[in-house]
Amino acid sequence: MQTIPFYKMSGSGNDFILIDNRENILGDIGLDQFIVQVCRRKMSAGADGMILIEAAEDLDFKWRFYNSDGSRAEMCGNGARCAARYAYLNDIAGTEMVFGTDAGPIQASVSGDRVRIGMTPPFDYRPPFVLNAGGHAVEVSFINTGVPHAVIRTDDLATAPVVDLGRAIRQHPEFAPAGTNVNFIAVEDSSRLGIRTYERGVEDETLACGTGAVAGALVYALENGTPAPIDMLTRSNKRLTIHYELDGDNCRQVFMEGDARIIYTAALTPDAWQY
């Protein structure tokens, strides 16, 4: 029986299946369906996404990142931290590394179960504008932190309509054709924000979103002149620390630090993807 070794990892509650694909054990034919099947909760291993670790000539490694619906994403901050720790633990890279993503090369530094990653330069920042979505006029900011993110300020994060309004904005023509992730942020104090995220590709709220936490922090910093760092408290109650340098209407030298935990190691059998 063919089996596929994997790690199940969690970055602040965002969970992933990581597979060493440097020997191309997974071909491209039927890969999207394989990912959908394996990422099913209760019916298979279950995860928010899958990360394939692959060989790269000029970097420590490269990855292919997939959402649980089989769609490929350019970047995932929580996934990047997990990939870095996986690479270190499996002698693919040292504690300091650079690996390739569809959004560009990522620097990472591993210290125990904490990982600090350098984010790709954010771009396409749009200050608050009004969007008609879900039957409401909503004030939204936007920034791309490797993947697109809409950011909405709220006074009550607990009752924010993350799924309903998040889905309406995610599919809004303003962000077509790629769509966007949608983040709701609330100020807890001058250097700490709460955040909840509706994730494109998962098509639901997740317990954390790394690029979303970066987006929320940078939008808040740009609109309020807030110096770094900012702590982002995710739905999982885990903290992501965002470092950056403000440069007028831009942010430079953006880093994110947070946990990357091994939940278990195991092997997938054909029953995981054939049922």
Which residues participate in catalysis according to the annotation?
Answer: 76, 209
* Distance between CA atoms of residues 140 and 166, nearest Å: 11
* Distance between CA atoms of residues 218 and 69, nearest Å: 28
Contacting residues for 258 by C-beta, under 8 A, at least 6 apart: 11, 12, 78, 81, 114, 115, 210, 238, 239, 240, 241
Please confirm whether the linkage preceding 229 is cis (ω < 30° from 0): yes
Helix H or strand E encompassing 169: helix 162-170
242 forms bridges with which residues in the sheet?
230, 256
Locate tokens 């769609």: which residue?
71
φ and ψ of 76, to 5 deg: -150, 115
- Which residues in the chain belong to E strands, given as ranges? 4-11, 14-20, 49-54, 61-67, 96-101, 104-111, 114-118, 123-133, 136-144, 148-153, 181-189, 192-199, 204-206, 230-233, 239-247, 250-259, 261-268
